[in-house]
Amino acid sequence: MVPSRRTWNLGATPSLRGLWRVGRAGEPEPGMARPAPASPAARPFPHTGPGRLRTGRGRDSPAGGDEDSSTRSAARPALAQCRALSVDWASPGSPHRLYLTLQVEHLKQKLISQAQEVSRLRSELGGTDLEKHRDLLIVENERLRQEMRRCEAELQDMRAKPAVPCTGCEHSQESAQLRDKLSQLQLEVAENKGLLSELNLEVQQKTDRLAEVELRLKDCLAEKAQEEERLSRRLRDSHETIASLRAQSPPVKYVMKTVEVESSKTKQALSESQARNQHLQEQVAMQRQVLKEMEQQLQSSHQLTAQLRAQITMYESELERAHGQMLEEMQSLEEDKNRAIEEAFARAQVEMKAVHENLAGVRTNLLTLQPALRTLTNDYNGLKRQVRGFPLLLQEALKSVKAEIGQAIDEVNSNNQELLRKYRRELQLRKKCHNELVRLKGNIRVIARVRPVTKEDGEGPEATNAVTFDPDDDSIIHLLHKGKPVSFELDKVFSPKASQQDVFQEVQALITSCIDGFNVCIFAYGQTGAGKTYTMEGTLENPGINQRALQLLFSEVQEKASDWEYTITVSAAEIYNEVLRDLLGQEPQEKLEIRLCPDGSGQLYVPGLTEFQVQSVEDINKVFEFGHTNRTTEFTNLNEHSSRSHALLIVTVHGVDGSTGLRTTGKLNLVDLAGSERVGKSGAEGSRLREAQHINKSLSALGDVIAALRSRQGHVPFRNSKLTYLLQDSLSGDSKTLMVVQVSPVEKNTSETLYSLKFAERVRSVELGPGSRRAELVSWSSQEHLEWEPACQTPQPSARAHSAPGSGTTSRPGSIRRKLQPSGKSRPLPV
């Protein structure tokens, strides 16, 4: 081992001659190998500096500085020795000492320049062969590293790819490529291994050479040590000789001179040996440095090789693993493929079997179907033949069906004709029966209605009840008149308990006969306040005959609507002082005339009398409302006026039978007569007397007409009053008349009650026989009304009229007299 600078052997201090030789440095010691200077062109990497290449890690070591310091440290012992030698003569100012000092300084500078020169030469010469080899190796290593990195990246890619089982040849191609690549890589690895082994060999060789160099260096060092030893021994001897010579004073000078002469020679030899020594030391240091670096390089190269080997092994194992994985995948894919093929084959076999079975079934079916097909074909042919003959068949069938239908229609027609004939006969029979019924009941029927006692009757004896009834016979009424009981028999008597509906039921048959084309007259007769208007019109809550009659007509008409088409029209008129006025007209003051129809039918009509066509009870109410609104403005004392006039509601029912074309016209006259009280007897005068005379005249005329009709006289005096003349067609022929005689039950009205009931009974009793009828009627007519005549002519006080209960005070919202006002001739229904 070469000693370091720090452990430099002071015993082997170079002689002065050696030091001196250093001053002539730059020339190599004879026999010492020195690296030949390499031309810059011969350098492998001319762009790279030698220092950089030498260190190999980009770190420039201050080589010059080190050598300088080593030179200085090498010169230091020599100077120390010189100082020791010039203990006596090396005093300050001694020329020898000065010389030595200068010599030392010079040597120092020489050393520095030599070191610089060495470093320069080194840089110029470039690296050694080993360095070049090392550089090559580094480059090669770098290349290998890059190759490995590439392999690594490829392997990563392979790993990153999902291990999807290959189904086509694409993966197998890829795997083949990979396999090729693997083999290439393996080849490269083998090559690299070979290269590595070569490099190892080279390194080995270099190591051997280094070992040789080291041996030689050791030899040199040993030689140098021996030389130093020898020189130091000689120097010691010289010192001893000098010392002994100094001790001998006289001959000393001589000796000194001799020594000085010899000393120069010695010094020269010393300096030479020192220089050689120095040079050798430098060489050794240099070689050591080179060796160290080489060792380091070798070590790093070993490490690198080991790393590379480890990496190669790792990659190999990685490759092997990948290869194994790939093989496994291929194996599993192969297995999957085989399994799928087997399954598909098994399935196909099963399916084939099923198909075969189906085929066999179909074959058997076909075999069984063939006879059925044959029969079907036969059927089809038969049907085809039938179809060909079908139009003819159809024609025949149609002809026969037509004939049958025609026959059926004829039968139905004849049936219908028969039914129609029967129906007409039934209708006639019904009418005949009805007529017979009415005839049996009497064409003119008289009923009495007793109103209840009201507040208007007052209190006291005058307001006591004077009327009683027979509990077993509803046609008997008893009146207590002036203490004497008087009984009357009529068609029917209604007590105060009887409701509006009870009374209406009695007249219902008459009203329905109007639909069948009969003319009907219903009169309310009696003194004022006896309940005529109540019975005919009633109240809003409890309507009278008028409204109920129209309701009944509407419902009956609706029932027959499937066969008959009916039109119902209404007119309202008033007869006051023998003047006929239209209650629905626009000009109530206008006097209407009754005229004969110009067609010569003998029918009467009232030109200008307004008619409203009605279809429901609502329409009727509208008509009444309209009349009432207008009439309240016409008469200031409506109640008074209404008791002095006859109010007529004329309902005409036109019917057409849809099947027969039969036409019917029935007229229903609902008459609220003026008060029957004997005004003349109470001494009325002026307008009141005139009113009374007109009322008496008209009521007498009515009595006369009814008497004439009952006794079936040839002449009926219709023209004696406007009332009878207007109702002529409704009183004659098959017409039916009903008179409701209204009476008051209280004591104070017994005279008028008696008179009304007598009038009623007489009307009814006339019917018993034509002869007697006529006679009785004549006597009644002459007796009663003629009896009144003088009274009429002699003005009497009108106390009776005023004494009538409720006169001038009663007001009923349903009253036609109040409701209807005169209006225009013929207008649409008011809305």
- Residues near ligand ADP (CB under 6 A) are 451-452, 454, 526, 528-534, 643, 742, 806, 810
Nearer to ligand ADP, 275 or 573 (CB): 573
Report d(CA 424, CA 113) in Å as an integer.
Answer: 171
Residue 94: contacted member of Mg ion, ligand ADP, none (CB under 5 to 8 Å, by partner type): none
The reply, when asked if residue 530 is annotated as ligand binding, is: yes
Closest approach, Cβ 677 to Mg ion, in A, equals 12
Contact of residue 646 among Mg ion, ligand ADP, none (CB under 5-8 Å per partner type)? none
Interactions with Mg ion, residue window 219-238 (CB under 5 A):
none
Comparing every residue's Cβ against ligand ADP, the nearest one is 531
Q: Which does 814 bind (CB under 5 to 8 A by kind): ligand ADP, Mg ion, none?
A: none
Kindly give, in sequence order, each residue whose CB lies less than 8 Å from that of residue 378, ignoring residues fewer than 6 positions away: none
Q: Interface mask (CB under 5 A) for Mg ion, residues 338-367, using x and -?
A: ------------------------------
Q: How far apart are CA 485 and CA 53, in angstroms?
A: 175
Q: How far is the CB of 826 from ligand ADP (least distance, A)?
A: 30
- Tell me how far CA of residue 437 lies from CA of 442, 634, 667, 732, 776, in angstroms: 8, 44, 19, 17, 25
Residue 722 binds what, of Mg ion, ligand ADP, none (CB under 5 to 8 Å, by partner type)? none
Quote the least distance from Cβ 628 to ligand ADP, whole Å. 15
Of 105, 120, 306, 132, the closest CA to residue 202 belongs to 132
Q: Are 821 and 588 in contact (CB under 8 A)?
A: yes
Angle between helices 129-160 and 169-247 (to 10 degrees): 150
Residue 58 annotated as binding site: no
Compute the least distance from the CB of residue 757 to ligand ADP, in Å: 15
Does the annotation place 526 within a ligand binding site? yes
Q: Does 533 participate in binding Mg ion (rule CB under 5 A)?
A: yes
Residue with Cβ nearer ligand ADP (382 or 458): 458
Q: Is 18 one of the annotated binding-site residues?
A: no
Bridge partner list, 524: 672, 740
Asked whether the CA dihedral 40, 41, 43, 46 is positive or negative, the reply is positive
Cβ–Cβ under 8 Å, residues 801 and 682 = yes
| Nearer Cβ to ligand ADP (141/669) | 669
Size of the site for Mg ion (CB under 5 A): 2
Which residue, 442 or 531, is less far from ligand ADP as judged by CB? 531
- Nearest residue to Mg ion on Cβ basis: 533
Q: DSSP for 505-541, please give it.
A: HHHHHHHHHHHTT--EEEEEEESTTSSHHHHHTB-SS
Q: How many residues does the chain have?
A: 831
- Amino acid identity of residue 774, one-letter, is R
639 versus 796: smaller Cβ distance to ligand ADP: 639
Residue 101, marked binder: no
Q: What does 529 interact with, of Mg ion, ligand ADP, none (CB < 5 to 8 A by kind)? A: ligand ADP
Which CB, 533 or 669, lies closer to Mg ion? 533
Secondary element (H or E) of residue 761:
helix 750-765
Nearer to Mg ion, 114 or 639 (CB): 639
526 binds, among ligand ADP, Mg ion, none (CB under 5 to 8 A by kind): ligand ADP
Cα 176–chain centre separation:
61
Q: Report the 10 Å Cβ neighbour count for 463.
A: 18
Nearer to Mg ion, 281 or 533 (CB): 533
CA proximity to 593, closest of 467, 686, 719: 719
Q: Which stretch binds Mg ion (CB under 5 A): 532-540, 604-612, 764-772, 794-802?
A: 532-540
Residue 454, contacted partner among ligand ADP, Mg ion, none, CB below 5-8 A by kind: ligand ADP
Which DSSP state fits 57? S
Site string for Mg ion, 795-824 (x = CB under 5 A): ------------------------------
533 assigned ligand-binding residue: yes
Q: Does 535 bind Mg ion (CB under 5 A)?
A: no
Task: Map tokens 């001790």 to a residue.
Answer: 247
Tell the smallest beta-carbon distance from residue 806 to ligand ADP (Å).
4
Nearer to ligand ADP, 108 or 532 (CB): 532
Q: Which is nearer to ligand ADP, 278 or 749 (CB)?
A: 749
Q: C-alpha angle 383/384/389, rounded to 5°?
A: 95
| Partner from Mg ion, ligand ADP, none contacting 742, C-beta within 5 to 8 A by type | ligand ADP
Q: Within positions 483 to 502, which residues make up the interface with Mg ion, using CB under 5 A?
A: none
Q: What is the smallest separation between the CB atom of 718 and ligand ADP, expressed in angstroms? A: 25
Compute the least distance from the CB of residue 495 to ligand ADP, in Å: 9
Of 110-118, 461-469, 511-519, 525-533, the window that binds Mg ion (rule: CB under 5 A) is: 525-533
Amino acid (one-letter) located at 583: L
Query: Three-state secondary structure along 349-416?
Result: HHHHHHHHHHHHHHHHHHHHHHHHHHHHHHHHHHHHHHHHCHHHHHHHHHHHHHHHHHHHHHHHHHHH
111 binds, among ligand ADP, Mg ion, none (CB under 5 to 8 A by kind): none
Smallest gap, in angstroms, from Cβ of residue 532 to ligand ADP? Answer: 3
The residue type of 588 is P
Please state, in angstroms and rounded to a whole number, the distance separating the CA atoms of residues 641 and 198. 161
Residue 432 among known ligand-binding residues: no
* Partner from ligand ADP, Mg ion, none binding residue 531, C-beta < 5-8 Å depending on class: ligand ADP
* Smallest distance from ligand ADP to CB 803, Å: 13
**What is the phi/psi pair of residue 442, to 5°?**
110, 135
* Partner from ligand ADP, Mg ion, none binding residue 735, C-beta < 5-8 Å depending on class: none
Which of 544, 795 has the CB closer to ligand ADP?
544
SS3 labels along 458-504 = CCCHHHCECEEECCCCCCEEEEEECCEEEEEECCEEECCCCCHHHHH
Q: How near is the Cβ of 551 to ligand ADP at its closest, in Å?
A: 19
Nearer to Mg ion, 220 or 572 (CB): 572
The amino acid sitting at 768 is: L
For residue 499, count CB atoms less than 10 angstroms from its CB and return exposed for 0-12, middle for 13-18, buried for 19 or more. exposed
619 residue type, one letter: D
Nearest distance, CB of residue 675 and ligand ADP, angstroms? 6
Residue 752 is encoded by which pair of tokens?
A: 């008028």
Contacts of 51 (CB under 8 A, 6+ apart): 60, 61, 63, 122, 123
Give the residue with the Cβ less far from Mg ion, 279 or 812: 812
| Site of interaction with Mg ion (CB under 5 A) | 532-533
Q: Would you list which residues are annotated within the binding site for ATP?
A: 526-533
Q: Would you list which residues are annotated within the binding site?
A: 526-533
